[in-house]
Homo-oligomer: A and B are copies of this chain.
């Protein structure tokens, strides 16, 4: 656990100005929490492996039990606020037929342990290529190694550990962030904490790293505004909307990536600030982007506990806004109509929220959709000067 010790020792050397000692104490606390978390992960992996080892010594067949990942094995509690995995398990027993995938699963868990201990990380693709040196246990196709990683992720998620904590990171772009937020990021070698002030990026922004578990935050912002399009984000950022309204802007660029969702969740949890979603008014914006951000998706419920933002609320664009702001619209496409009807009929989230049922039904009845940039009809900066201030005066009216 060399890496962990190193971090604990060096953490929080930086700070600067009056709050140096407070920042240092905070950074030290974060380093301790991260190190403790790493210890938990390593012992979870060791426990799982020890059980297999014990079975082998007893000359009985070892097995690993993975949670079933499907809609049938999902529960939704209004109180918890997101999709959760049920108790159904599939058991993989070591036999002649399963020996290769069983060995691969153990090697992959071993890789994870090594990554935690050296304070490093790997993408799915990295892990696949690493296996090329595992001799008989090497993967022939990345699809195979991805499937093993998904199983391991589901296995450890039942112990409260995420894939990112196992140090397997996504190979995708993070979202962009600007506004009243300082991100604290301890250096992986020295533990020295970098203070990243998201008010200081001009027209640019902070790009969220692939994994955010090690980050912590300082902010006095009143809310997080999660934005669908890069265009609206750039407008709000260039005009420093975060300054006048004391908030943090996050660009999701469509359906938010894992890192972006986790970043928003951690930020909202740790700093206790609400999250408002600002997306297009169409079934894709509402059901795919917002619903995924807030409660997760059916076939990946084992992720919800880490990635969902149950405290998110829907600022707009709402079907009612289309009328109230006389927005230019496009007709709903067939795919929109199917998606909306499906949500009303089958989606536990929409089924449990009356205001959403009404809003979706309204949208279907109007037969149109509107993009958030449609507000530009009333002037390019109408969104900043009129729409958002009016909306933000009444957060209680946001859709759930």
Contacts and interface: CB of A to CB of B under 8 A. Distances in A.
A202 B183 contact: yes
B130 A173 contact: no
A200 interface: yes
A211 B206 CA distance: 16
Given A205-B207, A380-B130, A173 B172 contact: no
Contacts of A253: 173
B204 A126 contact: no
A194 B200 contact: yes
A187 B201 CA distance: 10
A133 interface: yes
Contacts of A239: 188
A374 to B, nearest CB: 5
A122 interface: yes
Given A132-B377, A173-B253, A230-B171, A209 B214 contact: no
Contacts of A206: 201, 204-207
Contacts of A374: 129
Nearest to A376: B129
B238 A121 contact: yes
A196 B188 contact: no
The quantity of this chain's copies bound in the complex is 2
A169 interface: yes
A348 interface: no
A158 interface: no
A377 B133 contact: yes
Contacts of A174: 176, 204
Given A122-B380, A376-B129, A377-B129, A185 B207 contact: no
Nearest to A184: B202
B207 A207 contact: yes
Interface string A177-188: 000000101111
A373 interface: yes
Interface in A208-252: 208-211, 214-215, 229-231, 234-235, 237-240, 251
Interface of A: 120-123, 125-126, 129-130, 132-133, 169, 171-174, 176, 183, 185-189, 194, 196, 200-211, 214-215, 229-231, 234-235, 237-240, 251, 253, 328, 371, 373-378, 380-381
20 contacts: A125-B371, A126-B231, A126-B376, A129-B371, A129-B375, A129-B376, A133-B377, A173-B230, A173-B251, A174-B176, A185-B202, A185-B203, A187-B202, A188-B239, A196-B200, A196-B201, A196-B202, A203-B209, A206-B206, A209-B238
